[in-house]
Amino acid sequence: MKLFYVQIYVGLLSLFFSSSFMSCINKSSGLVSGTEIPALLDRNEKLRNGKEWDDVMNAYQTLKLAIQKKSDDQESKIRLAQLFIREARVTGEHGHYYNAALTMTDRILQSKKLSKDMQFLAMVTKAGVQLSHHDFQGALLTGQKAVVINPNNPQIYGVLVDANVELGNYAEAVKLADIMIAMKPDLRSYARISYIREIHGEVDEAFEAMKMAVEAGIPGYEDTSWAMLTLADMYKLYGRYDEAVSLYKEILAQRPDYPFAVAALGSVYMEKNVLNTAESMTKDAISTIPEVGFYTQLAEIYKKQGKTEEASSLIKEIFTMLADDEKTGHNMNLEYANVYLDLLNDTDKALEYAQKEYQKRPNNIDVNRMIARIYTSAKNKEMAEKYMIAAASTHSKHPELKALSI
């Protein structure tokens, strides 16, 4: 689910195992021989966030040791999978960490002796990774199996809301979101209510729900910064720039160097045509994590600056990053479509990738709006209108719809 959040798409490193973990452990140490644990990658210094990184490293070592001593320690495996997912969000190394999380959940699900509770937790965690890989149908199927095991856990309804939203099953998403927030009104449920309201054109109500999500979080925590960023991005999308900038700066006061807030401020400067500042801030974000969205933003800035060679070189790098993401199981159809349309003005290739995504989820309003934008750029008004009608089917007030109708 997008929630206007700057998506973390890129993981440049393939899944690998630390050689020290892969080697056979000396039996006299009490460890299980041949136990393999995906590596914990070192964080960029800007992302260590005080004691947080020490806590992560200590937790990783504790869980790794527990699994190596007892190969059927399923609780440690699920906690390690969840640690990997958090690191993916913080560091942007999705190619490594999401597959590392899948390694742990698959090991759990392959166990012959598995409690219903652990089966449920493993399936919910796996579905979350499938969502991050943009395998929305797979996430829905996994989530539907999990909810049969435990229909009383709000986390599974979050997975089902997200999957149904991305597949364009909006009426079902509304029902599931209502169940989730009734069970546990917290940051995650308020955020989903916000996005569903925005989808249905209830923009003011969406702002209120996202404010409640922020208020439900703990200042300085990554998930709170995420909620604040989402709210700020909503402000920017709907033209409330002063409120957006103020909130981006507040995020950085609580969590210095948070790269998504840095890049978002850069995007504001880009839109205001203060290009040198936009370039500097975007490069600062890139130096922190390998987020492909930051690279595409920098390429746009280069184009505005007339730096043709720099833009061309960066676009080649972006395609390499997208290909690397595909190799690690991430569906990148819309990312390719955006690059071809916005950076290369190639409407034919943009449409090719957008149509691939349309085949997977024809009812999703974002996909339909993307295709409408491509046809508008290609000056095919009749086809653009067809997809604009679908994109507006939920009464969305997305500013891009208004711009396309002009």
Give the domain-ending residue among 63, 84, 114.
114
Give the domain-ending residue among 296, 331, 366.
331
The beta strands (E) that lie in 31-84 are given as none
What pLDDT is recorded for position 294?
A: 97
Q: Any idea what the CATH number is for the domain that residue 263 is in?
A: 1.25.40.10
Residues 158-167 have pLDDT tens digits of 999 999 999 9
Q: Which residues of the chain have pLDDT under 70?
A: 1-35
What pLDDT is recorded for position 50?
A: 81
Would the pTM of this model clear 0.85, i.e. be above it? Answer: yes
Domain-embedded: residue 142: no
Domain shared by 306 and 391, yes or no: no
CB 317, CB 301: distance < 8 Å = no
Domain-embedded: residue 72: yes
Domain holding 95, by residue range, is: 1-114
Domain shared by 327 and 348, yes or no: no
Domain shared by 356 and 324, yes or no: no
Domain-embedded: residue 229: no
Domain-embedded: residue 216: no
CB 159, CB 143: distance < 8 Å = yes
What pLDDT is recorded for position 51?
A: 87
Domain shared by 290 and 373, yes or no: no
Domain-embedded: residue 133: no
Domain-embedded: residue 146: no
What pLDDT is recorded for position 11?
A: 28
Domain shared by 270 and 361, yes or no: no
- Number of domains within the chain: 3
Domain shared by 296 and 398, yes or no: no
Name the DSSP letter for residue 255: S
Domain shared by 373 and 269, yes or no: no
Domain shared by 36 and 71, yes or no: yes
What pLDDT is recorded for position 220?
A: 86
Domain shared by 315 and 365, yes or no: no
Residues constituting the chain:
406
CA dihedral defined by 320, 323, 327, 329, rounded to 10 degrees?
Answer: 130
CB 175, CB 143: distance < 8 Å = no
Give the domain-ending residue among 93, 114, 135.
114
Token pair recorded at residue 126:
């796996």
Domain shared by 347 and 325, yes or no: no
Phi, psi angles (nearest 5°) of residue 67: -70, -40
Domain shared by 44 and 19, yes or no: yes
What pLDDT is recorded for position 14?
A: 28
Domain shared by 316 and 274, yes or no: yes
Domain-embedded: residue 312: yes
What pLDDT is recorded for position 30?
A: 38
What pLDDT is recorded for position 49?
A: 81
What pLDDT is recorded for position 402?
A: 86
